[in-house]
Structure 1
Amino acid sequence: MTYCIGMRLDRGLVLMSDTRTSAGVDNFAVSKKMFTWEVPGERAITIMTAGNLATTQSMISLLEERSVSEQDRDPSILQEPTMFQVARLVGATLREVISTSSASGQTSEDQFGASIIVAGQIKGGKPTIFMIYPEGNFIEITDDTPFFQIGETKYGKPILVRVYDAAMDFDDAVKLLLVSFDSTVKSNLSVGLPFDLQIYENDSFSVGRTTRITADDPIYQQISDGWGDALRDAFDVLPRYKL
């Protein structure tokens, strides 16, 4: 399992993914789940993955291979004219990998399933985010649904729903995502640090600020400890319910 969030703000996109992979209760490893393609001044596209690791790595490898050179860009994530067409391509590639991995009549395709977040902007279009399902179909982010989560979503969603504001700046958005991730890490061993973070500013058509947040990051530690203290303080001031 994993945890990834793609969030749209008035000023751009904020993306974060964890890096933990697991093969049992005591066998953990680190694996990148955020991948970016860029043509400076023309497009910037980022994909985050959750689900079967072999499936997602095969999908990313196919997309990379088909984007190596001009003559090989058919189909290519660097050639599609819109983000909608990019989402269609990624969905078709995911479905292609799942269908070729599944042994018909022997193994359920569910074992090879994966969910994908595709985010970015292509010149002539607006920055946007899509969530792609294992079947290859997808939905696009809207004002009513301003963020997508994939993976272990339930623990980190309440804080997003209560605090999200499209007008918030990038720094506050990162703080919000870190609280959401911290809540998930403390609730589920299959999600863990380090976290990969990317910020995309509208109409920049270039990969923006990126970093990897580790367990010893002092700001992350302050947010984690401060959020726990704030919850305890808030609990103490709530009225007691007496029968």
Structure 2
Amino acid sequence: MTYCVGLLVDEGLAMIADTRTNAGVDNISSYRKLHVVDQPGERVMAIATAGNLSVTQTALAMVREGVHLNVGEPPETLETAPTLFRCAQLLGHALRSVRQSIAPALEADSLNTSASMLLGGQIAGGPMQLFLIYSQGNFIECGPDTPFLQIGESKYGKPILVSGMRGSTPLAEAVKLGLISFSTTMRCNVGVGAPFDMLTLRRDMISGDVRRIEADDPYFMDLHDRWTRAQAQARAAMPEPPWMVGQGPAAFG
């Protein structure tokens, strides 16, 4: 299991992915799941992957070598595609092709071949965009009403993002919310864990910041502790149900 999130706000984009791969309680390892294409001044994009690792890695390798979307056209890669929309088409085509070619063999051994990707970034002269690409090759684009997309183990971190994320949210605040959603998800599911890989990209700058956040990262540890304490304090400050005030344990015997 894994967890990846893309956050698209007015100031820019942040994409975060964990590195944990879980093939059973006795087979847990780490693989990079945030793959960055960085050509400063021309294009910066990141692809976050979730699901069957062999499917996503093979699809990415296919796109690196070049994909023919139409017969007679030259192969295209993420470095040559003219728009981010075209990049989403290339990744969708690769995901679908890989699943069609290897799914029968994997499914014969009862292996799940589902996979998905997040693609976010900006190509010079074009808009900043964020897409969620499904196993079948189709995709959706992130919009202003819900300025984030998730793949993998998304349910634990989603309430944090739903309650706090707006299109107008500053990029630094969006990163903070994204990391809190990872903190919450880690607490609930051992299949998600540090280190995390992250890309932040300010709109129209076409130059991204890529970093890895380890489990002992001072900021993340402090954020995790502060969030835990803040929840406990908020819970303690909530009034008790009025129909239970003053009732001792004997009242429920």
Residue type of the partner of 2:212?
A: R
Per-residue deviation, 1:31: 0.4
Determine the structure 2 residue equivalent to 1:180. 181
Determine the structure 1 residue equivalent to 2:133. 132
Mapping for residues 90-109 of structure 1, pairs under 5 Å: 90-103=91-104, 107=108
The count of corresponding residues between Structure 1 and Structure 2 is: 237
Mapping for residues 45-194 of structure 1, pairs under 5 Å: 45-66=45-66, 74-103=75-104, 107=108, 111-194=112-195
Per-residue deviation, 1:109: 9.7
Q: Is residue 46 of structure 2 the alignment partner of residue 33 of structure 1?
A: no
Q: Is residue 237 of structure 2 the alignment partner of residue 221 of structure 1?
A: no
Residue type of the partner of 1:218?
A: P
Structure 1 43/76 Cα, relative in aligned 2: closer, same or farther at 3 Å?
same
Per-residue deviation, 1:150: 0.2
Structure 1 163/106 Cα, relative in aligned 2: closer, same or farther at 3 Å?
closer
CA distance in 2 between partners of 1:119 and 1:147 (Å): 11
Per-residue deviation, 1:199: 0.3
Structure 1 40/105 Cα, relative in aligned 2: closer, same or farther at 3 Å?
closer
CA distance in 2 between partners of 1:29 and 1:100 (Å): 26
Q: Is residue 19 of structure 2 the alignment partner of residue 19 of structure 1?
A: yes
CA distance in 1 between partners of 2:105 and 2:217 (Å): 46
Determine the structure 2 residue equivalent to 1:240. 240
Per-residue deviation, 1:45: 1.7
Per-residue deviation, 1:106: 5.9
Q: Is residue 219 of structure 2 the alignment partner of residue 209 of structure 1?
A: no
CA distance in 1 between partners of 2:182 and 2:232 (Å): 19
Residue type of the partner of 1:241?
A: P
Per-residue deviation, 1:105: 11
**Is contact 1:34–1:46 with CA below 8 Å preserved after alignment?**
yes
Q: Is residue 197 of structure 2 the alignment partner of residue 196 of structure 1?
A: yes
Show CA shifts across 1:72-123 (max 9, x none).
Answer: x712222221111111111001101111112279639982110100111112
Query: Which TM-score applies when normalising by structure 1?
Result: 0.92
Residue type of the partner of 1:160?
A: L
Query: Which TM-score applies when normalising by structure 2?
Result: 0.88
Residue type of the partner of 2:29?
A: A
Per-residue deviation, 1:197: 1.1
Show CA shifts across 1:194-240 (max 9, x none).
Answer: 0111101111223x111111111111111101111100100011111
Structure 2 stretches lacking a partner, 5+ long: 68-73, 244-253
CA distance in 2 between partners of 1:105 and 1:43 (Å): 36
Structure 1 stretches lacking a partner, 5+ long: 68-72
The DSSP-based 3-state class of the residue aligned with 1:102 is: helix
The DSSP-based 3-state class of the residue aligned with 2:104 is: coil
**Is contact 2:106–2:113 with CA below 8 Å preserved after alignment?**
no
Per-residue deviation, 1:142: 0.6
